Amino acid sequence: MILIIGLCRLEFRIQMSNSLKYKRRVIKSLKAQIRKQYNVAISEVEANDNHKLAVLALVSVSNKQAYLEKLFAKIIDFSLEINDLQLIKDKVEFF
């Protein structure tokens, strides 16, 4: 049995943020939308105390790497459409 774990790391700049409260609201909404629409595990993993920066990690498991590649590409495209966020960097790895 083949088991492939996909990890996607997304780094965002939150342009309009002037407080951690604003950042948390934006990130909480994004995480909920991604969880609901794409059924992946997602968490903020870095820059928790920086109100202008957010780093999210997404994880999914499949038996096909091509499926995970398409899934993460869709999530990256989706995140580019969020007005309050600017995607700075993305990285996808497979294990």
Task: Return the pLDDT at 47.
Answer: 87
Q: Which strand (E) or helix (H) includes residue 94?
A: strand 85-94
What is the per-residue pLDDT across 13-69, written as a single tens digit (0 to 9) for each?
998 888 999 999 999 999 999 999 999 999 999 988 999 999 999 999 999 999 999
**pTM to 2 decimals?**
0.89
* Number of structural domains the chain divides into: 1
Task: Return the pLDDT at 82.
Answer: 85
Q: CA distances (Å), 63 to each of 5, 7, 49, in order? A: 9, 14, 36
pLDDT at residue 75 is higher than 90: yes
Q: CA distances (Å), 19 to each of 22, 48, 51, 68, 82, in order? A: 5, 12, 6, 34, 18
Cα dihedral across residues 56, 38, 59, 87: positive or negative: negative
Say if CB 88 and CB 12 are below 8 A apart: yes
SS3 74: helix
Task: Return the pLDDT at 1.
Answer: 79
Task: Return the pLDDT at 62.
Answer: 96
Q: What is the CATH number of the domain that holds 65?
A: 3.30.70.1120
Residue ranges making up the domain that contains 18 = 4-94
Task: Return the pLDDT at 84.
Answer: 85
